[in-house]
Amino acid sequence: MYALKLTQIGNSYGWILPKEMLSKLKLEKGDCTYVTEAPDGMRITPYKSAAEEHLKLGRQFMHDFRDTFRELAK
């Protein structure tokens, strides 16, 4: 477990991540991280949630075939 202290950086706030944590997450300067809600709190990950991408694709599929779905629902 890591304890991260929130600190002011210019006009913003941020966490300073220890080198060991950066190494474990395989992060380098400029990399993007994602924060998602989890049942036990918040999760920070360097990977975009696959579920989020699947939902986006599913919504697009349903939008593209909405007329077909309406006909099938009759």
Which residues contact residue 37 at a Cβ distance below 8 angstroms, ignoring those fewer than 6 apart?
A: 43
Kindly give, in sequence order, each residue whose CB lies less than 8 Å from that of residue 56, ignoring residues fewer than 6 positions away: none
pLDDT (tens digit per residue) in 6-54: 999 999 999 888 999 889 888 888 888 888 888 999 888 887 767 777 8
The rounded distance, in Å, linking the Cα atoms of 5 and 17 is 9
Average pLDDT over residues 57-61: 92
Supply the pLDDT for residue 46: 82
The model's pTM: 0.51
Tell me the domains of the chain and their CATH numbers: 6-73 (2.10.260)
Q: What is the mean pLDDT of residues 46-70?
A: 86
What gap in Å lies between CA 35 and CA 1, rounded to an integer?
17
Tokens describing residue 23:
């190494």
